[in-house]
Chains A and B, each alone.
Chain A
Amino acid sequence: MSAFAKQRLSRRIGEGVFLTFCWLATGVALLALTAIMWSLISQGVGGFLKPDGGGLDLAIFTKSTPAPGSEGGLLNAILGSLMMCALAMLGAVVVGVLAGTWLSEFARDSRYGKVVRFLNDVLLSAPSILVGLFVYEILVAPLKGFSGLAGSVALGLIAAPVITRTTEDVLRLQPTALREASVALGAPVWRTILAVIWKSAQGGMLTGALLAFARISGETAPLLFTALNNQFLSLDMTKPTANLPVVIFNYALSAYDDWRRLAWAGALLIAATVLTVTIVARLIAREPRRS
């Protein structure tokens, strides 16, 4: 065999091995992820059906977490999670949008702007359990009590950097001509930003907020020692508050079949919520802007 033919053969073999590997890798990845989705649905859907197998059972949404062996649902946990996420988002949107606006409109390439941007990116991917420790140190320990409010603060601190980042990114995409046109009409900078730039970027900003919500709705680690948990239905956020992730965590590790069933149902509920919110966020981001 000539040297040329040898080289050609080795190139073809290399190519074949490489392509096979890429196909296999995708196959393995999709298989693993399908397996996860399949277990989630097959195990989780049981929680929404009557135990004898017939018909929908809405106990999950109408009853609170049960004692072992008795009937129950996840009402208190769902409600607690919603309250905490809503409060967290409220704070995070205000801080995140304003901070993102400052980074995009005022700071640009100043040194302080670069520092804030860098640290925001670090905060964005810092382990969430450390945020939990932080909030424990500044709120739970001094006030001598776990509370839903502390949980909200922890979740808010996780959501705020996400919103800051997306806000800055979409605001930077707005054309300079838009700002100039507004200023040329005599609008002061604050009106330009509020009425023109934010207005034009609202789709992207909404997407960022939805993604932040998707992120915090499944966070477990920061709630373990801030919101803790609560066996009963309660709207008092100054006390330990029930929430889906921690209930799932506790129930999944319990020895009772009923509790594990509820844990799977809760996991399905959270995953479905996160997926829906993410898909909606992507649809909004993709929607063509009206002219």
Chain B
Amino acid sequence: MTSATPAPLAADAPRSARGTGLDRAFEAICFGAATFLLVALGGLIVSLAVGGWPAFAHFGLGFLTSAEWDPVQEIYGAAGAVAGTLITASLALLFALPLALGVAIFLVELCPAPLRRPIGTAVELLAGIPSIVYGMWGLFVFAPWFAKHIQVPLMMSAKPGTIWEAITTGVPNGSGILSASLILAIMILPFMAATLRELFLTIPPQVRESAYGLGSTTFEVIRKVSLPYVRTGAIGAVMLGLGRALGETMAVTFIIGNAHGFPNSLFASGSTIASTIANEFAEATGVLHTSSLIALGLVLFIITFTVLALARVLIGRQANL
């Protein structure tokens, strides 16, 4: 008996020692992979800063304040593209947010049970359609329709000399700032609706049911119970949508008209940071041109990083995004 028990232990000893030795190696490999991601993001920032440095050094602060973008004379200013980016993304959010809330509330509170799953799934699937598809649709289908049924009537009805005339001037071909914002809105709508729906579903049923039990209408339950319950998460979801709109490239490049400088009306052609980079980077020849485009990228990174970081802090890990 005394000789039987230690024997397996002794036989096991080298094996388990060998096994636990590998533990360290395995942990080190996993640690390396995690650190690789950290290095990738760090490298991304550093490479944008280094690549953009010649432009910042040459133009100084003027790079951010000037809207002149002239590859022929080698004069580059980011203000036009930055303004285009911020305007289109904010307008897109303005259009998409009420609709996304409406869709999410519909799916959680109003939708007939047999339709709930199909519509919910459809919305989530559509959030995954590549943005180039939205861009093509915008250029070939949406723009002609928009020009004929919305842009031209609006331009005709604007009285000369009023502010309406000022913000509705433009080439009536359906492309421009407003069209780009609308396409962006359609693109971020499914994503935001799906996220908001998931947030609403995290509310314990008892909370909503007790509000209904007190005689609240659906509107009151949403406004006074559901929305306050998911407030921080919802703000985070909205910021994630904004982050997508800010950095979106293909959907915008197709339809914004790609003109440099400040957009001066809703129908004017404009550009965003991403669309400028997409259009010009492969053809940029001069060092200053390439560097200015990378500097634009750095500006975009700083804008989106701020928005995304805020979103992540607010959203926590409440919804599985």
Q: Footprint of B on A, CB under 8 Å? A: 11-12, 14-15, 18-19, 21-26, 28-30, 32-33, 35-36, 39-40, 43, 94-99, 101-103, 105-107, 113, 115-116, 118-123, 125-131, 133-134, 136-138, 157, 160-161, 164, 169, 186-191, 193, 211, 214-215, 217-221, 224-225, 228, 245, 248-249, 252-253, 260, 263-264, 267, 270-271, 274-275, 278-279, 282
Contacts and interface: CB of A to CB of B under 8 A. Distances in A.
17 contacts: A18-B219, A19-B219, A22-B102, A22-B106, A32-B189, A39-B141, A103-B34, A122-B41, A125-B308, A127-B246, A130-B48, A137-B294, A186-B16, A249-B250, A270-B130, A270-B132, A278-B125
A113 B300 CA distance: 27
B200 interface: no
B308 A122 contact: yes
Interface string B250-268: 1000100000000000000
- Chain B interface, >50% SS class: helix
A21 B100 CA distance: 11
Contacts of A263: 136
Contact of B50 (A123, A137, A214, A270): A137
Given A14-B217, A101-B30, A157-B40, 11 more contacts: A26-B103, A33-B186, A36-B133, A118-B312, A126-B301, A129-B277, A130-B297, A137-B48, A164-B34, A245-B250, A270-B133
A43 B133 CA distance: 12
A274 B37 contact: no
Interface stretch (B18-26, B61-69, B148-156, B205-213): B18-26
Nearest to B50: A137
Contacts, number: 266
Given A115-B38, A125-B308, A105 B141 contact: no
Contacts of A98: 29-30, 32-34
A99 B34 contact: yes
Contacts of A191: 19
Nearest to B250: A220
Nearest to A228: B282
Contacts of A278: 125, 128
Nearest to B301: A130
Contacts of B126: 33
Interface of B: 12, 16, 19-20, 22-23, 25-27, 29-38, 40-41, 43-44, 47-48, 50-51, 98-103, 105-107, 109-111, 119, 121-123, 125-126, 128-137, 139-141, 186, 189-190, 193, 217-220, 222, 240, 243-244, 246-250, 254, 274, 277-278, 281-282, 293-294, 297, 300-301, 304-305, 308-309, 312, 320
B274 A129 contact: yes
A22 to B, nearest CB: 4
Nearest to A123: B41
B23 A188 contact: yes
B22 A190 contact: yes
A102 B218 contact: no
Instruction: Please indicate which of the listed interface residues B129, B300, B320 has the most CB atoms of chain A within 10 Å of its own CB.
Output: B129
A165 B277 CA distance: 29
A225 B249 CA distance: 13
B17 to A, nearest CB: 9
Contact of B297 (A101, A133, A157): A133
A94 B282 contact: no
Contacts of B131: 218, 220
Nearest to B96: A29
A126 B281 contact: no
B134 A36 contact: yes
A268 to B, nearest CB: 9
A126 B304 contact: yes
B63 to A, nearest CB: 17
Nearest to A275: B125
